[in-house]
């Protein structure tokens, strides 16, 4: 299974991302409670898993699933010393995979709270993945999927050259199967798949008037490194990509520029 952002620095990028855009409020607002049995689907290097473990407390339990062994190794380091957490190497199923991979292997009707953040944007078949999240959630339990919507374009002033470069990069990513607007699609998807009391919470991925802090610049800088193989041809060569990246990072550091992006967190209850 290919993962668009795979690279040697991916675990570091995700830890930086969580540092610059923490998920805690999204967990609170969707009703995560002490004592809950939780699935973290697509846990990455475990930064949010650690928050989940702390929030459910000693009476709760967290299963953290990811198909990437390097991500799980990093998660084991991040979660070292926490004992109510289990790491599982598996993927949310996608259509076209062999029957042996058609499910995660997790029990049906089990979890009180099933959480999946920044994974659906990469999935070619979100419906099959959502079915699996619903299958493993207990009746009355919650499925919660958090994802981006339109990241990177909402800046002002945003000179035409910078906007043009960003749009080229976004188009190339879309052609590779990344859905940069998946956030807005989840409400409809949840309802189509029979979830009840579907609600959407909007929170900042970032909102910065003026100079972005070092964590946010580091997050974007790593993102540009990882996207280089796609970005260089999209921008028309290495020099053009480097120039675009430097101008974008400069825009993030600019005192006069406003920039924001949102995360849409969709929750629904399994009947
Ligand atoms: C951008 S990271 C998000 C990690 C974490 N949820 C967070 O919020 O930081 C996406 C993760 O999804 C994992 N992933 C990719 N395909 C997946 C699938 N089919 N099922 C579950 N996880 C998947 C990747 O290995 C990666 O760790």
* Domain presence at residue 81: yes
* Domain presence at residue 4: no
Is the CB–ligand 1 distance for residue 67 below 6 Å?
Answer: yes
What does the alpha-carbon distance between residue 4 and residue 269 come to, in Å, rounded to a whole number? Answer: 30
Give the pLDDT of the chain (271 residues) as one tens digit per residue: 467 877 777 787 777 777 766 788 999 999 999 999 999 999 999 999 999 999 999 999 999 999 999 999 999 999 999 999 999 999 999 887 766 667 899 999 999 999 999 999 999 999 999 999 999 999 999 999 999 999 898 999 999 999 999 999 999 999 999 999 999 999 999 999 999 999 999 999 999 999 999 989 998 999 999 999 999 999 999 999 999 999 999 999 999 999 999 999 999 999 9
Do 118 and 233 contact (CB within 8 A), yes or no?
no
Instruction: For a ligand 1 pocket test, name from 4, 42, 70 the mutation site with the most ligand atoms within 8 angstroms of its C-beta.
Output: 42
pTM of the model: 0.93
Is the CB–ligand 1 distance for residue 91 below 6 Å?
Answer: yes
Is the CB–ligand 1 distance for residue 126 below 6 Å?
Answer: no
* Domain presence at residue 200: yes
- What's the CATH code of the domain at 46? 3.40.50.150
Phi, psi of 199 (to 5 degrees): -135, 150
Counted domains in the chain:
1
* Domain presence at residue 202: yes
Show the domain range for 153: 10-269
* Domain presence at residue 3: no
* Domain presence at residue 1: no
Q: Where are the alpha helices (DSSP H) in 120-264?
A: 126-136, 160-175, 186-192, 214-226, 228-235, 238-253
* Domain presence at residue 163: yes
Cis peptide before 145 (omega within 30 of 0): no
* Domain presence at residue 210: yes
């Amino acid at each position: 299974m290919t993962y668009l952002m795979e690279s040697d620095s991916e675990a570091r990028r995700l830890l930086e991302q969580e540092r610059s855009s923490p998920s805690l409020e999204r967990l609170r607002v969707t009703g995560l409670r002490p004592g809950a049995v939780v699935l973290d689907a697509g846990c990455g290097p475990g930064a949010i898993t650690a928050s989940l473990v702390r929030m459910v407390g000693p009476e709760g339990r967290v299963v953290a699933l990811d198909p990437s062994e390097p991500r799980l190794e990093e998660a084991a380091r991040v979660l070292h010393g926490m004992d109510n957490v289990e790491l599982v190497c598996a993927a949310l199923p996608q259509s076209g995979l062999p029957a042996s991979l058609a499910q995660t292997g997790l029990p049906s009707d089990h979890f009180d709270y099933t959480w999946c953040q920044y994974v659906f944007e990469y999935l070619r078949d979100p419906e099959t993945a959502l079915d699996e999240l619903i299958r493993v959630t207990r009746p009355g339990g919650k499925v919660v999927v958090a994802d981006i919507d339109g990241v990177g374009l909402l800046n002002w002033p945003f000179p035409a050259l910078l906007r043009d470069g960003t749009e080229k990069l976004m188009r190339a990513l879309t052609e590779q199967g990344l859905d940069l607007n998946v956030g807005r699609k989840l409400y409809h998807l949840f309802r189509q798949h029979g979830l009840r009391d579907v609600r959407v919470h909007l929170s900042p991925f970032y909102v910065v008037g003026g100079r972005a802090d070092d964590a946010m610049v580091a997050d974007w800088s790593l993102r540009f490194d990882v996207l280089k193989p796609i970005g260089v041809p999209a921008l028309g060569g290495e020099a053009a990509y480097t120039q675009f990246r430097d101008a974008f990072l400069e825009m993030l550091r600019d005192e006069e520029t406003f920039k924001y992006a949102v995360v849409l967190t969709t929750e629904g209850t399994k009947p």
